[in-house]
Amino acid sequence: MEALQQQRIKVAVAELLVAIGDDPNREGLLNTPDRVARMYEGLFSGIGVNTVDAIDTVFEADNQDPVIVRSLGFYSVCEHHLLPFFGEARIGYVPDGKIAGISKLARALEISAHRPQVQERLTADVANAIFSVLKPEGVVVELEAEHLCMAMRGVKKPGTRVLTSATRGGFNNYPSGREGLIGLMHSS
Ligand SMILES: [Zn+2]
């Protein structure tokens, strides 16, 4: 992020503090605009970055053994309220000739999560990226997350978890099919 934009964030946060009726010049808030500006540089580092670019290490694979990553923690920011939603992801795919470096799957989630997001689009974006780069038999991405905009405002239901799921591919040459993969993703 460029200096100019950081400066704009600082001005905007100071203005926001005035608008909510607080005093940006009181001691506790003096450095808040600067802190928020620096924090946003990290939180929104995925803006303008293509999710597929995360999956830049691809290997040949001569089998169709499923690859599953789970308990993959993530944090994102809901675009409707600019409040966090966070939880865990499960990613599974059945290769068809290509596999990705495992950390690259986590990186794809990371990039897409670091934008103003909705959970549904985040789920689909990661599934689309994996599908377009690896062209697997099939891929399933599941996200389970708590939304602070649900917990703190409106319906106020802390602890509620939202589950989203995206499937790409037909699993045509994988005997266990999509259900088989999902079974593995949830096995204990
Ligand atoms: Zn929200």
Distance 79 CA to ligand 1 centre (A): 6
Distance 80 CA to ligand 1 centre (A): 5
Distance 153 CA to ligand 1 centre (A): 9
Distance 56 CA to ligand 1 centre (A): 32
- pLDDT value at 2 more than 60: no
Distance 40 CA to ligand 1 centre (A): 17
pLDDT tens string 64-81: 999 999 999 999 999 999
Distance 102 CA to ligand 1 centre (A): 30
Distance 78 CA to ligand 1 centre (A): 5
Residue 67, exposed/middle/buried by CB under 10 A (0-12, 13-18, 19+)? buried
Distance 21 CA to ligand 1 centre (A): 23
Distance 63 CA to ligand 1 centre (A): 42
Distance CA 154, CA 151 (A): 8
Distance 81 CA to ligand 1 centre (A): 5
Tokens of 13: 């946060």
Distance 113 CA to ligand 1 centre (A): 14
Distance 184 CA to ligand 1 centre (A): 31
Distance CA 76, CA 20 (A): 24
pLDDT value of residue 155: 75
pLDDT tens string 20-66: 999 999 999 999 999 999 999 999 999 999 999 999 999 999 989 99
Tokens of 99: 């596999």
Domains of the chain (ranges, CATH numbers): 3-43 (1.10.286.10), 56-186 (3.30.1130.10)
Distance 174 CA to ligand 1 centre (A): 38
Q: What is the mean pLDDT of the chain?
A: 95
pLDDT value of residue 15: 98
**In b/e form, how buried is each residue of 20-54, taking b as 16+ CB within 10 angstroms?**
eeeeeeeeeeeebbeebbeebeebeebeeeebbeb
pLDDT value of residue 114: 97
> Taking the model in full, what pTM does it have?
0.94
Distance CA 133, CA 72 (A): 20
pLDDT value of residue 4: 60
Residue 162, exposed/middle/buried by CB under 10 A (0-12, 13-18, 19+)? middle
